[in-house]
Structure 1
Amino acid sequence: MSEAAIQLQQVTKEFKGKKAVDNLSFTVERGTVVALLGPNGAGKTTTISMILGLLHPTTGTVKLLGGAPQDRQVRDRIGAMLQDVSVIEGLTVAETINLFRSYYSQPLPLEQLLQISGLDNERNKMASAMSGGQRRRLGFALAAAGDPEVLFLDEPTVGMDVTSRQLFWDTVRAMAGKGRTIVLTTHYLEEADQVADRIIVINDGKLAADGTPSQIKATTTGRTISFTAGNAVTTESLRNISGIVDIEWNGRRVKLYSNDTDQLIAELVRAELEMKDIEIMSGGLEEAFRSLVSTAKV
C-alpha cells in the first residue's frame, strides 16, 4: 500500500508526428488532491487518457497504483468522471448506477451513491431525461460506484448549480479525508485553489509548474496595483516605468502586475502619474496561471 498512486516517467505522446505530451514526468502520492491545469490543447486530456490506459504513450512509462493502467485489478480500484456522460436508454437513474456497481468487486451501496450525488429524488427518473447538471451528478455517482482508491474528475462541476456544486466538493473533501487520491481538471480556478493540495500546470505538453496552491501563487506575478488613471496615462507611458510585468485596462481602470508592488508604487508616485482609488491586491491562482501560461509561450 506504500506505492505512489500515479507515476509518469518521461512520457511522450505523438499524434501524426506532433507531440501532444512532451517528456512529462511527475508522481502523485496516495491521499493527495491534485488539480491538473492548463489551457485548451495543453495536453491535459491526453495525459489523463494515458493514466487511465485509454491511450498508450509513444515513449516513457505510466504506472497506476503500482501496475499497468490496463490491468483488470487496477481498473477495479479506480473511477473516472469524464466530460461526456453517456446514458443507456430505458434505464432509470438507480438502474444505471446498479449496472455500474455490478462491474466492481466491492461497490458502494446504491443508497450512498444516490446521497453523495444528490440524486435521491431522481432515483426513478429515466436517465435519458435528465438535465445537463443532473447528468454531471450521475457521472459522479458512476465514477464513485466502485469505491475507488483513485478518482479522476474531468471538469466535474460544469453545468451544476451552486447547491449541487457545494455538495459535490464536500463529498470530494470527505473522500480525500479517507485517503482517496483525487485528480481533477477544471477551468474554475477558484475551485482548484480551494480544494487541491497540489497543482500541476501543463502547457504545450510540458510541465510548466508543480507545487501547492500557495507555492504556485508565490512564484509568479502574484500581486497587482490597480487605479483609475488620468487621461494622460497611457500604455506607452506605463511601459517607461520599471517593475511592471503586465498591463490590463478596463475603461480608465488599469491593473498592473508586478513582482514587487512596494517598489512599483514608489516608482508610480515618483513619475507623478495622475492616479486615484489605488488598490494593492495579492494575486490569486488565476493571475498565477495566466502568468505561467504566457511565460511558457514566450
Structure 2
Amino acid sequence: METGMVPVARLHGVRKRYGTVQALDGLDLAITPGQLLALLGPNGAGKTTAIQLLLGLQTPDAGQVELFARSPRDIAARRGMGVMLQSAGISDHLRVDELLALTRSYYPQPRSVADCVAMAGLQGLLDRRYGRLSGGQQRRVQFALAICGRPRLLVLDEPTTGLDIEARQILWATLRELVAQGTAVLLTTHYLEEGEALADRVNVILAGRCIAEGSVAQIRAHVAQRRVRCLSALDAEAIAQWPHVRHARREGARLEIVVDEAEDVVRRLLAEDAALSELEVQRAGLADAFLALTQDADAHSRTSQEAA
C-alpha cells in the first residue's frame, strides 16, 4: 500500500470458518484509491469469502473488515461501491434501459445512460429484454449496472467470463479510465493475462492465506523461471528430461520450454539443432509465477501436515 493512502476497503487478520473448512486464515487485504488490485488464487482459496465479507454478506469469526472506514453493513458505505458478481440474479423480463433506470435511481449522481452505454459497450441493446441476451451481452449489462452509480470502489468477480475479445477490450479500457480517475478496483480473474495487463498490485491467496503480495513485477520476481521459444525439429518429450527444464511442449513447428536456468538449455538447443531459428527467451509471466507459488505453497503445506 502506498504511503499516506487511506484504504477504501480493508481486511485485517480476518478468519472465517464454515464447519470444518477454514476459508480465511488471518487474511490481510487493503485497496487504495486509483488502484486495481487483482486477487488471485485457485478455486477454494478464499476469494469469494473475502468478497462476501467486503459486501457485508458475511461476518468474520475474527479480525476486522472495513469499507470506507465503516462497517460493510452500513448503507452509506455500500452506496460507495459497485459490484459485479458471477451470479447476478437479474430479472429476465426487464429491458436493459429499464434495468439501467432502476439501478441509477438508487444513486444521487449517477452516470448518464449514454456514458453507461459507451463504457460497457451496450450499443443497440437498450430495448432488448435481459433474458433474451447472450451470456456475453448479459455480462456487459451487469458491468454497466456496477459502474452506473460512480462507485469509489468497484468489485469485479470474474467480470470477463463469456466476453468475446472486442467486449473484453472495451471493459479493459473502461477499467483503466476509471482507475486513472481515482476509482479503486478489486478484481478476481482466472485469466491471468488479464491480471498482468491491468493490475497495479496483486495478492495471491491459497487456503485462506496471502502467500505473495506486490506489483506484477514483484510477483514475477518470486520465480526465476524463463520461457524459451524457438522453431526446431527437436523432440519435446526428450527436451523435457534435460537438466533445468520444467516442461516442454510443441505447437506445430514451435517449441515452448519452461526452464529454471536458460543459458545451459539454450546452449544445448543450438548444439543439437543447427537449423534452429526464431529463438526467444522471456522471463516468467504472471501465470508462471502464480502456478509456481501456489504449487510450492501447497507442497509445503502437505509436507508440514505429514510431518505433524
TM-score normalized by structure 1? Answer: 0.88
Q: What does 1:172-211 align with in structure 2 at a 5 Å threshold?
A: 172-211=175-214
Is 1:247 aligned to residue 252 of structure 2?
no
- Once the two structures are superposed, residues 206-255 of structure 1 have per-residue CA deviations (whole angstroms, 9 ceiling, x without a partner) of 112111111111221331345654599375x53xx3x44x2244499875
Distance in structure 2 (CA, Å) of the matches to 1:231 and 1:127: 48
- The answer for the alignment partner of 2:122 in structure 1 is 119
2-structure distance, mates of 1:104, 1:23: 34
Q: What CA distance in whole angstroms lies between the structure 2 residues aligned with 1:155 and 1:185?
A: 5
1:233 paired residue among 229, 233, 238: 238
CA distance in 2, matches of 1:232, 1:26: 42
**Structure-2 residue corresponding to 1:86:** 89
Distance 2:260 2:112 in 1: 51
Give me the whole-angstrom Cα distance separating, in 2, the residues matched to 1:174 and 1:229. Answer: 46
Question: Which of the numbers 52, 55, 70 marks the counterpart of 2:55?
Answer: 52
For residues 1-298 of structure 1, what are the structure 2 equivalents within 5 Å?
3-225=6-228, 229-230=234-235, 233=238, 237-238=241-242, 241=243, 243-244=244-245, 246-250=246-250, 256-263=257-264, 265=266, 268=268, 277=276, 279-282=279-282, 283-298=284-299
Q: Name stretches of at least 5 consecutive residues in structure 1 with no aligned partner.
A: none
Give the unaligned 5+ runs of structure 2: 300-308
- Paired residue type of 1:209: A
Given that 1:196 and 1:213 are in contact with CA atoms closer than 8 Å, whether structure 2 keeps it comes out as yes
Moved more, 179-188 or 103-112: 103-112
| Cα-Cα RMSD | 2.6
Q: How many residues align?
A: 291
CA-to-aligned-CA distance 1:66-103 (integer Å, 9 cap, x gap)? 11111111001000001123322432101111111122
Structure 1 Cα separation of the partners of residues 124 and 185 of structure 2: 27
CA distance in 2 between partners of 1:231 and 1:289 (Å):
24
Alpha-carbon separation, structure 2, partners of 1:229 and 1:25:
47
One-letter code of the match for 1:212?
S
Kindly, what percent of the aligned residue pairs are identical?
A: 34
Shift of 1:164: 1.3
Out of 81-90 and 142-151, give the one that drifted further: 81-90
TM-score by length of 2: 0.85
Q: Distance in 2 between matches of 1:213 and 1:30?
A: 18
